[in-house]
Amino acid sequence: MAMNEIFFLALLTFTFFGAGLVKGVTGMGLPTVAMGLLGTVMPPAEAAAMLVIPSFVTNVWQLLAGPATTRLLHRLWPMMLGIVVGTVVGSELLVRVNPLWSGLGLGSALMVYAGYALLSPALSVPPSLERWLSPIIGLLTGAITGATGVFVMPAVPFLQALRLDRDELVQALGLSFTVSTVALAVGLVTHGAFRLEQLGMSALAIIPALAGMWLGQAVRFRISPKVFRQYFLLFLALLGLELASRPFR
């Protein structure tokens, strides 16, 4: 095996194990971490193709790990529809734009999310506004997902602002990330950026991702999730800064 192939497999293993570990401890973060780390060594469109299968598997697992799946689908379908439309349309930017500039978008998305999560503002969406905001939030999330491969903004703040109970929020995040993953895969295929060999490597990444999730869940109650999350977000912000600064060097 060539040296560059060994390096790539080691990088893939480390990236998805680390991303799975974060998801196991915090309940989210696998696509975000994977996109950030892989985006430092390859074009964001290729990184997005790599995360499709491990992201899908781990998020379906999260979605189905509670009793509220049907209720959440009924409540959040306008947002999910918006995510699909926005992602498929927006993914053309991820594929067509110069990787340096799509890296700028990816880095900016990471910094915005890290900044928001560190501040943790107490937002609340009243039921009267949810009906109108839901498809708009979905379209914005989809556009950002399509352009950067990052699923979290503004979907995560919106879902947190709905004041769901803890288990429902975890499932709602799993639903949003699952739909985003599928829509991103459709967008990449539509724009000719998802090749057969990437599917095989993406499937291979399931193993370290699940191993990392298992370890994260095992240590979740032995460490301070709050402190872990703060260090993780600071790391994410620095990673985003590194990616966003590349076009200006």
Is residue 3's pLDDT more than 60? no
Element (H, E) at 98: none
Question: Could you tell me the two tokens for 102?
Answer: 């799509």
Q: Which residue has the tokens 């991103």?
A: 184
The answer to whether 40 touches 244, Cβ cutoff 8 Å, is no
At how many degrees (to 10) do helices 99-119 and 30-38 cross?
140
Total number of residues shown for the chain: 249
pLDDT value at residue 196: 67
Q: Is the pLDDT of residue 78 over 90?
A: yes
At 1, the pLDDT band (50, 70, 90 cuts) reads very low
Angle formed at CA 29 by CA 243 and CA 202, multiple of 5 degrees: 80
Q: Is the pLDDT of residue 197 over 60?
A: yes
Find out whether 34 and 20 touch, Cβ atoms under 8 Å: no
Region of residue 149 (phi > 0: left; psi between -120 and 50: alpha; otherwise: beta)? left
- Of 5 and 79, the structure prediction assigns the larger pLDDT to 79
- List the domain boundaries for the chain: 3-244
Classify 64 as helix, strand or coil.
coil
Mean pLDDT value across the chain: 86
Separation CA 48–CA 191 (nearest Å): 13
In the chain, what's the furthest Cα-to-Cα distance?
59
Task: State how far the Cα of 150 lies from the Cα of 38, in Å rounded to an integer.
Answer: 12
How far does Cα 143 stand from its chain's mean position? 13
Whether the pLDDT of residue 72 is over 80: the answer is yes
Average pLDDT estimate for 45-62: 85
pLDDT band at 135 (very low <50, low <70, confident <90, very high): very high
pLDDT at residue number 144? 92
How confident is the model over 158-178, as pLDDT tens digits?
998 998 887 888 889 889 999
User: d(Cα 98, Cα 88) in Å, to the nearest integer?
Assistant: 19
pLDDT: which is higher, 136 or 213 = 136
> Sign of the CA dihedral 205, 211, 214, 220?
negative
